Each structure stands twice: as structure tokens, then as C-alpha cells.
Copies of this chain bind each other. A is one copy, B any other.
Amino acid sequence: MVGVGSQGKPPTVKEVARHAGVSPMTVSRTLAGGANVRPDLQERVLAAVHELGYRRNENARILRPGQASGLIGVAITNLGNPYYGNFALGVEEVAAETGRRIVLGNTGGDPARERQLVADFLGRQVEGLVLVPAGGPSDHLQPGRLGDVPLVLASRRIYGLDVDVVLLDDVGGAYRGTLALLDAGHTRIGYLGYVSSAFTGARRYEGYVRALEERGLHPDPALVFREQEDAAGGAIRRLLDLDEPPTAIFSANNRNSIDALREIGRRLRSGATPQEMPALVSFDDFELAELMPVPVTIVDHDPRQLGREAARLLLSRLGADARQRGPARMVEMPVRVAPAVPSA
């Protein structure tokens, strides 16, 4: 019951067997569920297990052919971002439901790091991979390079790579968000987006344009800033400083939204009135949006569900006997467009 303490190596089946006066096989069978083992022997085995503090060595078990590792490799771009944190949580939850664990790596958006992580994951015999692609070259993900370990991409897809993908309804969300502004009477609507999120950025911009055009409008190049490197402060200032500033802004992600609101707050403190400030639509939720000094509409979604769905797609490829083949699937998770309101 006390276990071995800190001395020596952990006990093995053999030692448990000796302790219980049976053969290693009886121990193994007992631990596997006890089919075809006499109850009294099982008891002796379990007692010995308890006594010695025995713990099965999973790595040795996995070594045998046909044994799955129970590991899912997950590589994401930024764990510190709540969006990806929740995504990872979703993957972990679904994996855990089948007794699997995730091995997690943070790429920081670096393709080289992604390549390295994938190689390591494969070496550890992961059963599958979930990736938020870092961008850049993707030859390490091409068919065959992964053996037959299934891969699911999330948030972005990689053109030319025919694998399962889970995305947000970027186009629809941006379309409906922009439409909400148009319906409120706005016609000069600025656009803010990151350059780094090329894939989602293009999709969200597409939704923005589609909504405008449906109302006979066209994107005004002077109002569109799609190239934010990092902080969007500069773009916001330029937008607000125009002779005829936009009366509303569509922001393609919450980082840009927060930057915009910071600048708006700054101007309000300097004497500007809320009426002079643009309304905002933010793709991505953020906390306390309802307390903002200008009306904010949120294109809301649930990254955790995105993670859960990614994991589900992956698990469906881990069929019992043979690798589940079938055409690559693309799932678009729904988004909700609504004015920020007190939530509690």
C-alpha cells in the first residue's frame, strides 16, 4: 500500500507476479480486465499490485503491434490567446472522453517549429494530429509524410492539402455583421484586419464586401486597412482622422477591436463626444463589450466547440481495424451576430 517509495526502479509485471505467486501472464490478464482468471488469483494479483505500487508501463505496452498510444498531437499558434486556449480545451475534453491525452506544442506561428513538433509527435506514435496551421510551407504535412496518421486542420485550411478541416463561418459572420451596420443606416464602414491571419482575413473581408455590394455599395479603399502588422493603433487613427471619417467600423478580430476601442477611449477623454465616434462590429467576442462607450456588435463563436468538433473529426478517422478512409470533410461552425448586451 505504501508503494516502493523513492528507492530503485518501479516494479514490473514480473515482480508483481512473483509477489502474487503467479505468472506474469496472469498479472497481465488481470490488469486487462480479468477475463479467464480465477477470482482468487485476481485478488492476489491486485493485492500485490497495491502492495508494490505497481503501475503499468504504457510505453512498453504501446510498443506491441496493434496497440494504440492513446496520444493526440496538438499544435497551435498561441496557447496564451484565450481563443486557442479554449480550442485546446475542446480537443482535450473530447480526447479525454475516449481515454486519450493530448501532447501539446505551441508553434508561435513559426512553420519550422510546427515541422519539428509534428516530427516529434509522429515519433511518439500519436494516433492523430490536430493543427492550427502556422502558415508557410506545408510539405511536412503532405500525404505520406505522416505515414497514415490522420490530420485535422482548424481555423485555417492549407490549399492543396486534402484533409479534414474545421472552420468558423467567417464569410457569413462578417456578412451578417456588416449587414447589421448597413441596416442601422451606416454607409461609410471602415474595415480593420490583421495581415498575419491571411486565411481568415480573406474570408472575413469577403463577407464584408458581399454585404456592401448587396446594398449597391463598394468598399472604399480609403476605409479599408487589412495590413495591420501587430497593434492596429495607427490604422484606427488614420481612419478617425479622415476628413469624412467612417461612421462605423468592422473589425475582423478582437485584437483590432480592442485597439480601436483604446483609441476611441483616448479621444473621448480628450473631449470628443460619443456621437462623433464610430459604431463597432467585432468579429470575436471580448469581455465587457456592453460597457463600451460606443455601441458594439459582436460576431460571437465558441472556440471550445471548434476544438471539440476538430477532435470528433479526428476520432472518426481512428476506426477500429483499418484506417477510416473517405473524402476530406469541411465543417463550418456557426457564429452568432448580436449587439453586446449585459450578459448576467
> Is A262 interfacial (CB-CB < 8 Å)?
yes
| A25 to B8 alpha-carbon distance, docked (Å) | 29
Give the top 5 A-B pairs by smallest Cβ distance, nearest first: A85-B85, A79-B89, A5-B144, A82-B82, A58-B123
CA distance A288 to B292 in the complex (A): 9
Residues of B contacting A342 in the complex (Cβ-Cβ under 8 angstroms):
262, 265-266
Given A80-B86, A85-B81, A287-B287: A145 and B262 interface contact (C-beta under 8 Å): no
A119 interfacial contact with B, CB 8 Å? yes
Q: Which residues of B contact A259 (CB under 8 A)?
A: 344
User: Which stretch, A49-57, A153-161, A208-216, A309-317, touches the partner chain B?
Assistant: A49-57
A173 within 8 A of B: no
Q: With the chains together, A296 CA to B323 CA distance in Å? A: 56
Q: Chain B: which residue is nearest A3 at the CB level? A: B144
Residues of B within 8 A of A144 (CB): 2-6, 53
Q: Can you sample 24 A-B contacts with CB below 8 Å? A: A5-B144, A6-B144, A6-B147, A9-B65, A53-B144, A57-B63, A57-B125, A58-B123, A58-B124, A59-B63, A59-B125, A71-B103, A79-B86, A80-B86, A81-B85, A82-B85, A93-B106, A102-B104, A231-B344, A262-B288, A262-B342, A265-B290, A287-B287, A291-B293
Chain A binding surface, main DSSP class: mixed
Scan A37-80; emit 1 where CB is below 8 A from any B CB, else 0. 00000000000000001011111101101000101000000111
Q: Does A172 contact B (CB under 8 A)?
A: no
Copy number of this protein in the oligomer? 2
**Which of chain B's residues have a CB closer than 8 A to the CB of A63?**
57, 59-60, 63
Q: In the complex, which range does the number of interface residues on chain A fall in?
A: 35 or more
- A223 CB to closest chain B CB (Å) equals 21
Min CB gap A344→B, angstroms: 5
| B-side contacts of A55, CB under 8 Å | 119, 122-123, 147
Q: Chain A residues in contact with chain B, CB under 8 A?
A: 2-6, 9-10, 53, 55-60, 62-63, 65, 69, 71, 78-82, 84-86, 88-89, 92-93, 96, 101-106, 119-120, 122-125, 143-145, 147-148, 231, 233, 258-259, 261-263, 265-266, 286-288, 290-293, 304, 323, 342-344
Not counting A4-B144, A6-B148, A258-B287, a sample of 8 additional A-B residue pairs whose C-beta atoms are within 8 angstroms of each other reads A60-B63, A79-B86, A101-B103, A101-B105, A101-B124, A262-B291, A265-B288, A265-B291
Task: List the B residue with the shortest CB-CB distance to A289.
Answer: B288
A2 (CB) vs chain B CBs: closest residue:
B144
Contact of A105 among B9, B62, B96, B344 (CB under 8 A): B96
CA distance A59 to B64 in the complex (A): 10
Q: Known contacts being A80-B85, A147-B6, is A261 close to B92, with CB within 8 Å? A: no
